[in-house]
Structure 1
Amino acid sequence: MVSGSHRRLAKLGAIAVSAAMLTACSTGTGSGKGGTDIRMLVNTTPVLTKQFYENLVAPYVAAHPGVKVTIEAPTGKGVTDSLQQDLAAGRPPAIIAGGQNTQFADQMAPLPDEPWVRNAPFSQSAKLKGKVWMVGTGVQIQSLVFYNKAAFQKAGITDPPRTVDQYTADLRKLKTAGYTPLQTGGEWTTGSQFLMLANPNVMNTAPDWYAQRNKNAVSFADSNYAKYLDVYQSWIKQGLVPKDADGTKYQDMITDFTTGKSATMVMGSWLVASVDSAKPSFGVGVFPVPTFDGSEPPQASNPAMTYSVLKASNQQTAAMGLVKYLVSDKAAITTSLKAEGNFRTGYSYDASLLTDEVGKILDAAHGKVVAIGPGLGDNSAPAGFEDEINTQIQSLYLGTKPAAVAAAMDKWWTSNAPK
């Protein structure tokens, strides 16, 4: 599927500040014999493996004699759990890459007011209490529906749906054609997929919805979240998603989709790399998540491959040097963008046709993006939001009513909102 197509993000500076963020957290290093060992805790994925990060930092290490970079994968459920364990043990890593929680922001070292920080995507709009504490490599969009073109043809679907009602009707046709209509799963994916679907329909009219909810100015019960909860449970009841979704791992979701078992899968742009690697026997397309009114949706988006440095580190200079390299060196940036099919103004790379289609969706949104996951800067959800929404969406599979989920989320948010 690889073509000679080149993608670059147009007008990144025009992107709205109401975007989502992957957070980061910490530093602390040990010294090896005659040098510095920078420990980096990374958020590993099927694409962003330990080996990927080791290869990514290798040129920096080669150019800095005496510097060693140790890549560490999470030992807990993810980066946040592992960081908590490391902090409790008094041995924090020097750099954290990826993650989804702002609760450690106060422990992060402020990044300098220098071009490499100011020019990083979303760095200014992600400020907390006036400081930049994380920087990313590129822009990642997440409100995407990947689809099996052969399945759509077999089901008699000629055009991708634009409205939620059209999508539901298409899912029914796909079920009749013998496919799992919408591939869902457990682990972290249940709540994340829901937000990928719902947030463009909530924040298209209220871009700062998280900030408003922190002030009790809006609620789940009286927003399009409640409407999407009804839709989502209707999919469960109609058998349009796997009954055993809660027990399905992320990698198994990808396998079910790329082997042709399921017809559509909602996921972020990083799925492109896995699809391209699998080389499915059928064509794969992508369209933006449908909206209730059929309008062009904004894209839920966030900085891709973020990095932070721990304030308490006695190796801040070494850690800052590596982070600067990762987000400002042309080769490092290009490698990072290409790995997950991400975008950044002024950068292009040989991309697959599917990456090109994702880029066209972002172009069609005219740079308008909205929050996903924990939020961005002052438009952020309370710590633990992703875990809570994940638990609540999974409860829909067990028969919990949508209204009860909305009420539970409002109660949780009120109890956990920043004071």
Structure 2
Amino acid sequence: MTRKRAYRAALSAALISALLFAAACGGGSKGGAGGEGSGAAGDRVEISFLSLITTNLTEEFWDKWIADFEKKNPDIKVKRIQAPSLEGLNDNYAKTLLASGDFPDVLSNISYQDFAKAGALMEIPIDDDIKKIKDYESLLLDGKLYTLQAYLQPHTQIFYNKDLFAKAGIDKLPRTWDELEAAAEKLKQAGITPMLTAGDWMTTLTFSILTGPEIFGKNPNWYADKNAGKVSYQDENWREVASRYQQFAAKGYFNKGALSIGYEQVEQEFLNGNGAMYPMGSWFTAAYEAADPDFEAGVFAAPTLDGKKTYMSGSRGTSFAVSNTTDQPEAALRFAKYLVLDPDFHKAFAASDGMFSGLADPINNEFTPLQQEIADLLEEAGTMSGYETQRAGDFPVNGLGNQLAKVGQGLLLEGSDVNKELAGLDDYWGKNK
């Protein structure tokens, strides 16, 4: 959920080397994408699927919809597998499976650009089905399509507890960093924890959400410019927002002991009413609806320095790709297309993970009030840029997510050096470009 849901970094150079080696060795016993197809008419073929398991996308969810696919496609059986632990992305497990010769036929939530460069993914023909995906051209790598992503998942928003805001006397939602800090101070004075975050990839997300609008909202091509040497993490805009993030922490506006807890714990803290603000992707709307807490939540866009415009950054939702070593390419592609184009699944999948339809002719479930607020923010922003480990004109270097986590965590600590942390990002980029 990009988890994203995309909050473990893209593969490191070492992993890419392993991928290239495994792909060069044929990835196991399966035939290439140009193989026999899905068997003789009437035969039932089996394909494997690496699913993404999260608090929203449960095993039961996938099994229900796999059964629906099999009912609609009785000639195909889908064997679902999953990573042994929740890591955000399926990259590490997929890399292990590729190296062992057990690479799945269809994969979800991987850094598709890295696996495609390693020759592990099938090129998907651009037909009339693909053209139903809005702006599918933005998914192309060197003019070729290796992933299906037909959902929109905004990240750079801050959920808030309306009751706690009212208790602290906050009657205006923050649009600037100054206003965000003023609201946080009112909350702190009222004995309320202003903002919640956690360790691991959660810190990457929090740091990126709070800095993203100023950087990537105002320059959606930032990563391309970075690769071209036009911008730096030590530029004034980065120093300013990173410093504001550091000061926010230094003033005690984050929860104590944040780095010692994880994603599920911090989410529960917000649902229990133990914090007023919670920077999180749109998938939280589904968790909020399921939990049915005893307070009303709202949402606002993460601030910029001047507050003049609303910016939204995020991902195109969960990615689906087909293995280049599958010996059932037709069946695998049919299942991958089902995961983005089937009207029933598309609606249910978007609703289950707080996403919005990314089809040219959108298929959306009825929005909850909280989802409608995000839809309104998207309409106000007018567009959604990449950021963090997402494409922003170009892809960032491999492993950037881990580096962003280190910086985000470092700046939460007393006595941290903003210039040193940002210089470290430039240094890492240069070594891994």
1:230 corresponds in structure 2 to 243
The one-letter amino acid of 2:411's match is L
- Provide the C-alpha distance between the structure 1 equivalents of 2:124 and 2:339, rounded to a whole number of angstroms: 14
Deviation of 1:225 (Å): 2.4
1:104 corresponds in structure 2 to 115
After superposition, residues 50-129 of structure 1 pair within 5 angstroms as 50-75=59-84, 77=87, 78-100=89-111, 102-106=113-117, 107-129=120-142
2:213 corresponds in structure 1 to 200
Deviation of 1:251 (Å): 0.8
After superposition, residues 253-402 of structure 1 pair within 5 angstroms as 253-344=266-357, 345-366=361-382, 368-376=383-391, 379-399=394-414, 400-402=416-418
Match of 1:194, SS state, is helix
After superposition, residues 101-250 of structure 1 pair within 5 angstroms as 102-106=113-117, 107-250=120-263
Instruction: For residues 249-289 of structure 1, give each alpha carbon's deviation from its aligned partner in whole angstroms, at most 9, with x where no partner exists.
Output: 11111110011001000111110011111111111111111
What stretches of structure 1 of length at least 5 have no aligned partner? 1-19
Pairing 1:403–2:419 present: yes
The one-letter amino acid of 1:222's match is D
The one-letter amino acid of 1:410's match is D
RMSD across aligned C-alpha pairs, in angstroms? 2.4
Instruction: For residues 169-225 of structure 1, give each alpha carbon's deviation from its aligned partner in whole angstroms, at most 9, with x where no partner exists.
Output: 111111122222111011211012211221211123322000111122100010422
1:48 corresponds in structure 2 to 57
Which of these residues, 47, 54, 58, is aligned with residue 38 of structure 1?
47
- Provide the C-alpha distance between the structure 1 equivalents of 2:5 and 2:271, rounded to a whole number of angstroms: 28
The one-letter amino acid of 1:36's match is V
Distance 1:67 1:207, change over 3 A: same
Deviation of 1:302 (Å): 1.7
Match of 1:369, SS state, is coil
The one-letter amino acid of 1:389's match is L
Distance 1:224 1:358, change over 3 A: same
Distance 1:175 1:415, change over 3 A: same
Pairing 1:415–2:428 present: no
Match of 2:313, SS state, is strand
Deviation of 1:108 (Å): 1.4
- Residues 385 and 392, structure 2, Cα contact 8 Å, conserved in 1: no
Instruction: Using the TM superposition, name which of 148-157 and 66-75 deviates more.
Output: 66-75
- Provide the C-alpha distance between the structure 2 equivalents of 1:167 and 1:57, rounded to a whole number of angstroms: 44
Match of 2:137, SS state, is coil
- Residues 126 and 378, structure 1, Cα contact 8 Å, conserved in 2: no
Deviation of 1:29 (Å): 9.8
Distance 1:289 1:151, change over 3 A: same
Deviation of 1:43 (Å): 2.4
- Provide the C-alpha distance between the structure 2 equivalents of 1:377 and 1:225, rounded to a whole number of angstroms: 16
Larger strand proportion, structure 1 or 2? Answer: 1
Instruction: For residues 73-118 of structure 1, give each alpha carbon's deviation from its aligned partner in whole angstroms, at most 9, with x where no partner exists.
Output: 2225441111111112121111111134632122211111112222
Instruction: Using the TM superposition, name which of 60-69 and 292-301 deviates more.
Output: 60-69
- Provide the C-alpha distance between the structure 2 equivalents of 1:360 and 1:378, rounded to a whole number of angstroms: 25
The one-letter amino acid of 1:97's match is S
1:9 corresponds in structure 2 to none
Q: Count matched residues.
A: 395
- Provide the C-alpha distance between the structure 1 equivalents of 2:304 and 2:97, rounded to a whole number of angstroms: 42
The one-letter amino acid of 2:379's match is D
- Provide the C-alpha distance between the structure 1 equivalents of 2:136 and 2:260, rounded to a whole number of angstroms: 36
The one of the two structures with greater contact order (alpha-carbon pairs below 8 A, sep at least 6) is: 1
- Residues 148 and 337, structure 2, Cα contact 8 Å, conserved in 1: no
Match of 2:334, SS state, is helix
Match of 1:299, SS state, is coil
- Residues 202 and 263, structure 2, Cα contact 8 Å, conserved in 1: yes
